[in-house]
Structure 1
């Protein structure tokens, strides 16, 4: 698996695991960077969805607002994929800077 494919797969949720485990021997700085960004985006989306689920059980009228915010994660994922496909080290907008120096287990 090439580093470019690893970088693209890192933004596709559970496919992050394939990019992480299959491509260990061909990893470069670009794929490491996008693995960190993709994992950060995935964790943020999961935490948001868990909180949104709890909030919707309390206040069901927030459905529309939370749906719009859910689309924001889809847009961030697409932007990350485009960045990875262009082989550029650019953080995901809004949350990407926070995850640049996290997840040191990705080597």
Structure 2
């Protein structure tokens, strides 16, 4: 009987990992993960939703740098490369089932979006 309980817990963890991974797949995945976690309110999923939401917001705001002539485009490439690396780190954290914040900006995202 204990084995069945363990399988249910493992299945629940796997489901939460799946929702956390979905959160990292474009803004549509972020929205889907938010809706899927609305009733569950799982802290693991909420953590990864906040992490990717922060990356998404920084990406949108950095797009405004495009209005700076010549230098803006170069800065955008650097910022997007850094965001891509941070996105990979967050996605790997969701795959591994860990709640390690993304380096440098991750703790800020947890604070900024704590209402989620």
Task: Report the Cα distance in structure 1 between the residues aligned to 2:113 and 2:75, rounded to whole angstroms.
Answer: 31
Q: CA RMSD in A?
A: 1.9
Offset of residue 25 of structure 1: 3.1
Task: Report the Cα distance in structure 2 between the residues aligned to 1:70 and 1:95, rounded to whole angstroms.
Answer: 14
Alignment partner for residue 4 of structure 1, among 1, 14, 17? Answer: 17
SS at match of 2:112: coil
CA pair 65-48 structure 1, distance change in 2 beyond 3 A: closer
Instruction: Give runs of ≥4 in structure 1 deviating > 6 Å.
Output: none
Pairs within 5 Å for 1:26-41: 26-41=40-55
User: Does 2:85 correspond to 1:75?
Assistant: yes
Match of 2:26 in 1: 13
Match of 1:102 in 2: 112
Offset of residue 4 of structure 1: 0.7
User: Does 2:96 correspond to 1:93?
Assistant: no
SS at match of 2:101: coil
Larger radius of gyration: 2
Task: Report the Cα distance in structure 1 between the residues aligned to 2:71 and 2:49, rounded to whole angstroms.
Answer: 36
Aligned length in residues: 102
**38-47 or 96-105: bigger deviation:** 96-105
CA pair 26-47 structure 1, distance change in 2 beyond 3 A: same
TM-score (norm 2): 0.76
Query: Whose relative contact order is higher, 1 or 2, with alpha carbons under 8 Å and at least 6 apart?
Result: 1
User: Does 2:66 correspond to 1:53?
Assistant: yes
